[in-house]
Each structure stands twice: as structure tokens, then as C-alpha cells.
Chains A and B, each alone.
Chain A
Amino acid sequence: MCSYIVMKAALRDSSAKGSKGWMSVDTANVYYDHPFHAPLDHALGIDFINEAAGGRERVAVELSAESARELIKQIEAALANGEREHAIAVAANNTPVANCEYLT
């Protein structure tokens, strides 16, 4: 809406790959405005940048509102799956070896 309203997400230990290869990113600028490339009046834009390094390079996406909401759901699902699997693996690692019959 030509509003210049930008939500900033602080990122830690994060990277993005752009035209010049991988870079560390510390900020995601998130906005809903007129896109440059997506065939829409308005799109959800995300610019991944390294603000501490000046923020001149970015990895950008423009998503339809529907796609952005689907992405949010799948990010949440991927995190939930990953954390659940990770918890199972950690539990298995913490299981006493004597209880693992195939090792005896």
C-alpha cells in the first residue's frame, strides 16, 4: 500500500544464499506492498539481509498472501516435526546401552 511499513525479524545463526553465494543474515524485513515481480497488486515481501554489514545484499521473495500463510503453516509443521524427531533421537541416545539387545 506504499506504506513503508516494515516488520523486522531479528535472526541469529542464520544464512541465506543469493547470487553471490552464502551469506550470514541477521534481519528479515517483512512487508506487504506492491511487488516488483509477482503478478499481484500486493504481495508479502521478505528481504533477508545482513544489516550489521550494511544490508546492501539481500535474498528476496515475493509471495501471495495465500502462499505466505501456507508457508507459515509449513514452517510451523517443519519445526514441530524436526523438534519431535530431535527429541526422540536425544531420548534414544540417553537410553542405557544395556537395554539395547542388538548390541549385546
Chain B
Amino acid sequence: MAYEGLQTETAKFRGHNGDMSEGYFARPARSGKVGGIVVIHGAGGWDEWVCEVARKFAHHGFAAISPNFYVRFGEGSPDDVAARARPTGGASDAEVMGDVLGAAAFLRAQANVNGKIGVIGFCSGGRATYMAACTIPNLQAAVDCWGGSVVVNDPATLTPKRPVAPIDLSANITAPMLGLFGNDDMNPSRADVDKIEATLKRLGKSYEFHRYDGAGHNFLNYNGPGYRLQQAQDGWKRVMAFYGKHLSDPSGTR
């Protein structure tokens, strides 16, 4: 087996409104241009698992950065920072989109990144991923993992920080989208996923949805009770294949 190495660090970049932001940056140590991936955490915050996801992508031959979208809520353990963010409504859509844009620019500025950028997010980060696909130009791939509230069934739940339903912006999507969903999930429910899929189909968008029986929310994350081994194995295989297809140069990733 060839020598394998990763480089990881906390990196600084300019995000929304020019604010200094930070992210966990992981990339393969070998030579060659690779695709870049922005990993979007959920409401639980910038925790150990999203950093592990960045390392997983690096292991599979991508440069990945997991931004801390709660950077504006100060320092502390991820759960304490998330607890601070929660009563305020968390990071706003504008902040998250600005930070994703900044993270994508950071990746593109790396000498070993081929310029192709994907996004992936989990839970409310999946919602942010969908929104990024709708609002951030020049993304090459988007992976929505059980993003909740992409469909807004009760307009009263819209807030100043999240003023629009992402599904209403679907016409603007240019990047191909992969969606992973558990059929036992409540948000998004099966009906929500049906609605998203119907919308993408009607608009002629490039998408690939995988909907798993025996799984609910968060089934890739082995730190929680929602983890499902077989569904997770298949899900990760789909994710890596999707990014391999859309982000890699022919001689780049494995």
C-alpha cells in the first residue's frame, strides 16, 4: 500500500460580512490536485464528529473544511456553544451562506485544490446545504443528508434568521444534488422528501436520492442512537462515488 498521510489543522478564513471565521481543514498529504468539500454542521455545532467527517474525506482524497458556524457565539465545548446559540436561533442563513462562500474561497485558494467544490451537511446543515446549492454560484456538487425544514409546512416557523423555505429557491440550483434520507425520519418526513424530489424533477434538476428503510435521522453518525451500520455503509459509498464523479480530476482522487 502506498504511503498515506493527512494534514489537519484549524484554519482561519474570511466569512460572512468579512468576519474572521475558522474551520477544521483536512487534506491528503500526497501530491496532486484534489476536489474540495465544505462540511456543514447541524444545530449541534462544530463537534468532534464533523471534524471526523472532514478527515474521512481527506482519507478518500479530498480537501475538506468544516467551518465553525457558531464562531460568533464564543469559545467553549461544542455543546456549551450550541446551548448559547440555540436561544438566539443559531447562526442565520445569511451568516452560514457567507461562511460557506468564504470556506469555498479558502479551498479554491489552496495550491492542491483543483477548483471544484462540493458541500455536504447534516440535519439543519443539510438544510443549509440545500440553501447553498440554491444561492451560492459555482458549486459542483451538493450532498443533503436528511436536511430538515427544507420544506416549511407551517409558515409561522419562518424566522428573521431563517426567513425563507429553501425549497422555494430550488429553481436556482445548478449543482447536481445527492440526498440521503431515512424513511423513519420525522423532519424531513417521507412526505417532505417526496415534495423535494417532485420539485427537483419538475425543474429538471440533476439529483440522486437514496431513501433508507430501517433508518431515521442521523444514521451516518455512530455517536448517536440513530446510527445504522448497513445504511451508513451504503450512504458513505454513495457520497464518495458522487464526489468522485463531480469533484475529481481524472488523475486526482482515488
Number of interface residues of B (CB under 8 A): 30
- B217 close to A (CB within 8 Å): yes
Known: A39-B224, A56-B76; 10 extra A-B contacts, CB below 8 A, are A1-B186, A2-B42, A2-B149, A29-B86, A34-B218, A36-B78, A36-B82, A39-B225, A56-B80, A58-B80
Residue ID in chain A nearest B225 by CB atoms: A39
- Selecting from A3-11, A81-89, A94-102, the interface stretch reads A3-11
Please classify the interface of chain A as helix (H, G, I), strand (E, B), loop, or mixed, using the class held by over half of its residues. Answer: loop
CB interface residues, B 113-141, toward A, < 8 Å: 123-124, 127
- Docked pose: A41 CA to B148 CA in angstroms: 14
Shortest Cβ distance from B100 into chain A, in angstroms? 17
Question: CB within 8 Å of A: which residues of B?
Answer: 42-44, 74, 76, 78-80, 82-84, 86-87, 89-90, 123-124, 127, 148-149, 157, 159, 186-187, 216-218, 224-226
**Contact flags (1/0) for A26-62 with B, using CB distance below 8 Å?**
0001010110110111000101000000011010100
Q: Let me know if B90 and A4 touch, CB within 8 A.
A: yes
- Docked pose: A41 CA to B226 CA in angstroms: 7
Question: CB within 8 Å of B: which residues of A?
Answer: 1-4, 6, 8, 29, 31, 33-34, 36-37, 39-41, 45, 47, 55-56, 58, 60
- Docked pose: A60 CA to B52 CA in angstroms: 26
Question: Quick one: given A3-B157, A33-B43, A41-B217, are A55 and B187 in contact (CB under 8 Å)?
Answer: no
For this complex, 28 residue pairs linking A to B, each with C-beta atoms less than 8 Å apart, are: A1-B148, A1-B187, A2-B149, A3-B149, A4-B43, A4-B86, A4-B90, A6-B86, A6-B87, A29-B83, A29-B86, A33-B86, A34-B42, A34-B44, A34-B123, A34-B217, A34-B218, A34-B224, A36-B44, A36-B78, A36-B79, A36-B82, A40-B225, A41-B216, A41-B218, A47-B83, A56-B74, A58-B80
